[in-house]
Amino acid sequence: MKIAILGGTGSIGEGFALRWAEKHEISLCSREVGKAKTAADEYRETLLSKGMVCCGITGCTNEVGIKDVDVVVLSVPYQGVVELLKTLRPHFKDQIVISLVVPMKKNRWFEYTPPKQGSAALEIRDILPKSVKVVSAYHNISAKKLANPALVLDYDVVICGDDEDAKKVVMELTRDIKNLRPLDGGDLGCSSMIESLTPFLINLAIRNGLSDLGVKFI
């Protein structure tokens, strides 16, 4: 499968690239192509140094990266996602777009600040062409742990979307990361409940001296 990661040079993007490169072709996307290519070289070297297989990691611009791929991962901050997607809209066709985006701000504590649509996922769906299938997932995965392929991530991943086939694809991608368990969270309208867990977990960690919290349903 061909996967483009918008924000691929960031910590969460790095983690997905390292975890999926064994089975999939990864495009790291950035406004700065040099930055993307440098990151791709570094990620390949990381995998080779650990004796891991790499199907391919390349660096490219956002526009080039999202063409002719099966899945686009949005691992960018909420503050820039609307402008970015409006710019890239003409380049989308019928891809699956996975939103990790969480709208939140920090006052004394982190607060969930959804747009008028009710969640970032719904806002993203409204921006993109109707042919694009938006799925929300991976909001509560530790970027630091994800970027260390030697670590086993014993987390649950709640996946929301309106297209059942698209959700199944994201569930299979989730299973490609050892010990992650995908759970069907319902339609895309349910995304707000999962997005809002992110600031809650950050605040929980701060209050209790914890770090890198995830979610496991038992």
**Where does the pLDDT of residue 49 fall: very low under 50, low under 70, confident under 90, or very high at 90 and above?**
confident
Instruction: Output the six-digit token pair for 192.
Output: 């707000």
Distance of CA 81 to CAs 10, 51, 87, 165, 185, Å?
14, 35, 10, 25, 23
Quote the pLDDT of residue 149: 87
Report d(CA 41, CA 91) in Å as an integer.
26
- Set out the domains of the chain in order of their start, with CATH numbers: 2-208 (3.40.50.720)
What's the pLDDT tens digit per position in 112-157? Answer: 999 999 999 999 999 999 999 999 999 999 999 999 988 999 999 9
pLDDT class of 53 with cuts at 50, 70, 90: confident
Sorting pLDDT into bands at 50, 70 and 90, what band is 51? confident
pTM score > 0.85 for this model? yes
Reading the block at residue 174, the tokens are 């989730």
pLDDT 10s digits, 70-96: 999 999 999 999 999 999 999 999 999
Is residue 161 within 8 Å of residue 133, measured between CB atoms? yes
Between CA 37 and CA 56 the distance in angstroms is: 12
In order, the DSSP letters of 70-105 are SEEEE-S-HHHHHHHHHHHGGG--S-EEEE----EE
